[in-house]
A and B are shown apart, each in its own frame.
Chain A
Amino acid sequence: AQSVAQPEDQVNVAEGNPLTVKCTYSVSGNPYLFWYVQYPNRGLQFLLKYITGDNLVKGSYGFEAEFNKSQTSFHLKKPSALVSDSALYFCAVRDMSGGYQKVTFGTGTKLQVIP
């Protein structure tokens, strides 16, 4: 069975500082990994994904994520946080082994960027 964990319910960061939102995963085969963002009263929006290749993935709005196979992590990062980055962030994983597998979402991390 596949699973994803977001250990922090909320992350607070000052505007202009770097931010990290943590995600770890568990799959039996190779993972597809995703980050989505949800603004208040909106649906989720795709930010970035890791399928294969370079461990550092760049996505929308200046976000990037680093895939670390040995630590089974896929942390979301941004060098300089903006107040407009305040939102709910979801990590998701899909196991690529054994035919079609659904995507499993984490419980979400609320990012609060303080002016």
Chain B
Amino acid sequence: NAGVTQTPKFRVLKTGQSMTLLCAQDMNHEYMYWYRQDPGMGLRLIHYSVGEGTTAKGEVPDGYNVSRLKKQNFLLGLESAAPSQTSVYFCASSYLAGGPSTDTQYFGPGTRLTVL
């Protein structure tokens, strides 16, 4: 099992450019999440999904869009990148809430994004 994988690992964008981060999991998890990690602020939830075809906003959704067309994939899009979006982005997945492994989240290795 690969677990949770993220592509790309690193990216540098210019202000106004767009990009898509891909997250894939092979554990058949229902829930998937996108977080950003910034120094001194811990992890902040951007968007999450409770199943294929559904998405919801987290704490800091502005400037990002997501899609969950397939259960195993969760895409994070930046339509017009801004320097404030320079961060490390983590994807995670978990079993259906309420199950025996409730909410234990499995994280990908992260994507380090710099917006100039």
Contact A32 B102 (CB under 8 A): yes
Contact B105 A44 (CB under 8 A): yes
Chain A residue with Cβ nearest B40: A107
Which interface class (under 10, 10 to 19, 20 to 34, 35 or more) fits A? 20 to 34
Q: Does B90 contact A (CB under 8 A)?
A: yes
1/0 contact string of A40-60 vs chain B (CB within 8 Å): 011111100101000000000
Q: What is the minimal beta-carbon distance from A26 to any residue of chain B, in angstroms?
A: 15
Residues of B close to A32: CB separation below 8 A = 102-103
**Chain A 45-83 residues near chain B, CB threshold 8 A:** 45-46, 49, 51
Q: What is the minimal beta-carbon distance from B33 to any residue of chain A, in angstroms?
A: 8
Known: A45-B107, A46-B104. 8 other contacts (CB 8 A): A41-B109, A43-B92, A44-B43, A44-B90, A51-B102, A100-B50, A100-B97, A105-B35
Residues on A close to B: CB < 8 A? 9, 32, 34, 36, 41-46, 49, 51, 90, 94, 100, 102-103, 105-108
Residues on B close to A: CB < 8 A? 4, 35, 40-43, 45, 48, 50, 58, 90, 92, 97, 102-110
A-B pairs with lowest CB-CB distance, top 4:
A43-B107, A107-B42, A105-B43, A44-B107
